[in-house]
A and B are shown apart, each in its own frame.
Chain A
């Protein structure tokens, strides 16, 4: 188990290393080169010359790459040129990330909480109305652009019916205490129940919109996995030796069907982050989605660079955790 973990950590380092190389190449390939990328188009010649010297652009390329790595290792990714002019790019990212993470986690929880039970039920009653309905929805859901679904939900529930808030993370008049940047968690930690509830209500529509695609995927994988497992010899054996139906379902079917499902959940991380970027725009949530859109329009490459690097790290880390969690689900892997 330890060797397994260490080997996976080593591969994580490798991926991040290659990614840094690609990011370095990306920054150099940007229109106007790295100086324009870091300072923007309207920089004075003095500032450009100063930065060129500072970045060591006259030095050999591997020295430059090493310097880039050194700065990155200390969290120095340059200064924001558009999203929040003058602020360190890392800080611009860190301030916005909790909103995105909060939204993504809620959406994923929703997708798992609905997708796994529905997938299981659909497999048990194959060809029933629930099965057909869920399959239809999982096909249609994939064809609907996330941001359009977000618009629809906002239009119906916030604009027309007025039952849920249309934008933001919390009502501005609340004056809630900030601890972690996760508003629901903050409210719970400080026992400001109304603040937590308010933040939660703001999350409902965006989380529902964002969860459709992960839901569709998790549902279909669960259904397929349960169908596969139900055909296995050990399930037939369990049934033949007269085990209670409940025990067979829980210990033999569901347990064994979870492996591909957990894998799928890990793989949804990237789609979830991308979807969050779009959903945030619709609901005016100040997360990294805003940083990406504004950053691109104003050519704020230092911020974009941090966002890309962080998103990839989150994806790789989540999938590392997923890989390690296999050992918990499947005892056979523990001995390897």
Chain B
């Protein structure tokens, strides 16, 4: 159904349009926050697979009245993305498996996320009263305590072991063209120790959190040539049809109307986008199997 994402996901879902995105964009600018706040969420990067069990058990208990009040609030405002049982809905993560919820005590972690939203991931900000927030936190912890194994949106590491690592090496070095940019002894050394399962798979397909990395990572390098002939090189900070902005080597933000400058953007992720249209599902699982050997 819809989802308009909170965003336009219906309910659309759908998606929010984030400001950022596509190939070249960067998020970090606060100017994009408004758009993101209003959109639907879809891109959660929290990994269901990283759930840590239990932990709510040590916390003070919540009253049934508070939990019930939280349930009603949750159903109305949160359940489209996170599910009525907080176990994951359309686009939003399973909160009962969330590391942040696991670490939360009485809303100290959950509260700021709720009140600020997660614009970079499409979650809008909400403005609960203290009482409402406490009820929502009570409900989420109650669901976490009661969540069963085998939650509906989980993807386990063991689910993703269908590939052939030898075929994956061949694809990596051959048809996939991965070796043009990546090396098992360079950037991918030890990758299997850093990421597992679904998180590794999603990073392999299209690493969407590169924008958050201040250095390294697949940040588009941008060169802007001004009318005077002067050039400015830096990380792409923002780009739409009308404006381009970079963050220079000293960390300062600069922007220009695109009609008045020339710019070139080199996006290392373009090759990943092209591959999405070429991969077979077997290719994907083979390459994943290969990456899992890189300890």
- Asked if chains A and B come from one complex, the reply is no
